[in-house]
Every structure is written in structure tokens, then in C-alpha cells.
């Protein structure tokens, strides 16, 4: 199994690039943000809970997110591998993921982070808000908070994988196709 963590701040292009990686390598795309949004739409208990945090640009509590992620992984029988998008977002989630992957006889192969600076992120999120209809993309205050939370709680996850020798940084600026090529190059090397 090849399991990738696609990492980066909100607006870095994780979702867009995940789709392309899935298409080429046949991995299962697992976006915690997408699962939360689906639950919000269905108005499940999880959705109602998640909404309280997402609407403020805060992180959903670790316990809830980790349990949900595990359930999602276990839904797939004999997977070729996963691409985790938007998870882990805290050091606690990263540790929990390692433990869980070991339990199912696997591991995280590599964490690939998309590097994009703050002003570019704000521009992309404002643009995305028009197409996606996501409320958390439309409000500059929520965007600012999401970036702040990313810097405080999520960025340290890079160090976590770096210590394991599993961190690759990819330049997330440029044409979408160019960035895809950079990612494919990294993944091709991992597969060989
Ligand atoms: P995303 O679609 O990845 O931008 O996620 C949208 C929102 O869902 C985030 O701003 C968080 O509020 C919540 N969320 C997604 N993934 C996680 C996670 N791994 N841990 C905590 N909250 C998350």
C-alpha cells in the first residue's frame, strides 16, 4: 500500500491535486473536510458538531476527527492506498494516524506539503468562494483565522514527518499542471 499525506495551508490546492493523483495512481482520496461537509449537508450529529467549529475557522476536536478518519479508512476493503487530504492537522492526529496504520499493517509512506505563501492563499480562497459556495471561504475573518490556526497547530506536523524522514516539500505556486507534474515526480520516485 502507498499512503500519502497531502499537506498544506487552506487554499494550497490539496483537493485539486488529490483528484489528479487519484486518477493516475488509483489511490483512495480521503478528505476530512469533505466528510465533514457531507455530514453538515445531511445534518447528522457529526455534521452539527463539526459546523460549530468550521463556521469559525477552528479545528474540529482531535478525538472526533480521528475516529471519523478511522471509520472512513475501514470502509475500504483491500485498498491500493490512500491519499489523506486535510488530515492530519495536529501532532496528535499525526501520532494517532501512525498508530492506526500500524494496527492495520501499513504506514504513511510520505507526507508531501504544498508550499504557498499567505497573500496567494487569500486570493485563491476568495476566488474559490465564488465557485464552491463554501461559507468558510467567503468571510475574510474566517480565512484569516484558518491561516492562523494552520500556522499554530498544523504547521508543526511537518516537523513530525521530517523527523521520520518522510517529508517532501513541493512548490505550490504556478500553473496547476506544473504543480501536478512536480507531485507526480515525487510519487513516481516513491513507487520505484
Ligand atoms: P478543508 O476542507 O480541509 O479546508 O477543511 C474545512 C474545515 O474542516 C477546516 O477548516 C476544519 O474546521 C475542519 N477540518 C477538516 N479536517 C480537519 C482535521 N483533520 N482536524 C480538524 N478539523 C478539520
Centre of ligand 1 to C-alpha 34, Å, is: 8
Cell numbers 467549529: residue: 53
In 113-129, which positions are buried (b, 16+ CB within 10 angstroms) versus exposed (e)?
bbebeeeebbebbeebb
Atom of ligand 1 nearest to the CA of 89: 19
Centre of ligand 1 to C-alpha 192, Å, is: 32
Mean per-residue pLDDT of the chain: 96
Q: Which percentage of the chain shows pLDDT scores above 70?
A: 100
DSSP notation for 76-102: -SS-S-EEEES---SHHHHHHHHHHHH
| From 86, 96, 114, mutation site for ligand 1 pocket: most ligand atoms within 8 A of C-beta | 86
Q: What's the mean pLDDT in 10-35?
A: 96
Q: Note the pLDDT of residue 132.
A: 84
Q: Which domains does the chain have, with CATH numbers?
A: 2-185 (3.40.50.300)
Q: Note the pLDDT of residue 83.
A: 98
Q: Is the distance from CB of 148 to CB of 118 less than 8 angstroms?
A: no
* Ligand 1 within 6 A of CB of 8: no
Give CA torsion, residues 101, 103, 104, 110, to 10 deg.
20
CA angle 151, 184, 119 (to 5 degrees): 30
Q: What's the mean pLDDT in 40-58?
A: 97
Centre of ligand 1 to C-alpha 33, Å, is: 5
* Ligand 1 within 6 A of CB of 87: yes
Centre of ligand 1 to C-alpha 74, Å, is: 20
The H or E element spanning position 4 is strand 4-7
Q: Note the pLDDT of residue 75.
A: 97
Q: Note the pLDDT of residue 108.
A: 98
Q: Is the distance from CB of 182 to CB of 170 less than 8 angstroms?
A: yes
Report how far residue 101's alpha carbon sits from residue 3's, in angstroms, rounded to the nearest whole number. 9
- What is the pairing mode between strands 4-7 and 167-171? unpaired
Provide the 8-state DSSP code for 58.
P
Given pLDDT bands bounded at 50, 70 and 90, which one contains residue 60?
A: very high
pTM for the full predicted model: 0.95
Residue 59 pLDDT > 90: yes
By CB neighbour count within 10 A (0-12 exposed, 13-18 middle, 19+ buried), where does 101 fall?
middle
Amino acid at each position: 500500500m502507498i499512503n500519502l499525506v497531502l499537506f498544506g495551508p487552506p487554499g494550497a490546492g490539496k483537493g485539486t491535486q488529490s483528484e489528479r493523483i487519484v486518477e493516475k495512481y488509483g489511490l483512495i482520496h480521503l478528505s476530512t473536510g469533505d466528510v465533514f461537509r457531507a455530514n453538515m449537508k445531511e445534518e447528522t450529529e457529526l455534521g452539527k458538531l463539526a459546523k460549530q467549529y468550521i463556521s469559525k475557522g477552528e479545528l474540529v476536536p482531535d478525538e472526533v476527527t480521528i475516529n471519523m478518519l478511522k471509520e472512513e479508512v475501514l470502509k475500504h476493503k483491500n485498498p491500493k492506498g490512500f491519499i489523506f487530504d486535510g488530515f492530519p492537522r495536529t501532532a496528535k492526529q499525526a501520532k494517532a494516524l501512525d498508530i492506526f496504520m500500524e494496527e492495520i499493517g501499513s504506514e504513511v509512506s510520505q507526507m508531501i506539503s504544498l508550499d504557498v505563501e499567505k497573500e496567494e492563499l487569500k486570493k485563491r480562497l476568495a476566488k474559490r468562494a465564488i465557485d464552491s459556495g463554501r461559507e468558510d471561504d467567503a468571510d475574510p475573518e474566517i480565512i484569516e483565522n484558518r491561516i492562523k490556526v494552520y500556522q499554530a497547530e498544523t504547521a508543526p506536523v511537518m516537523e513530525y514527518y521530517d523527523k521520520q524522514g518522510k517529508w517532501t516539500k513541493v512548490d505550490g505556486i504556478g500553473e496547476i499542471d506544473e504543480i501536478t507534474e512536480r507531485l507526480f515526480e515525487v510519487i513516481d520516485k516513491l513507487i520505484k
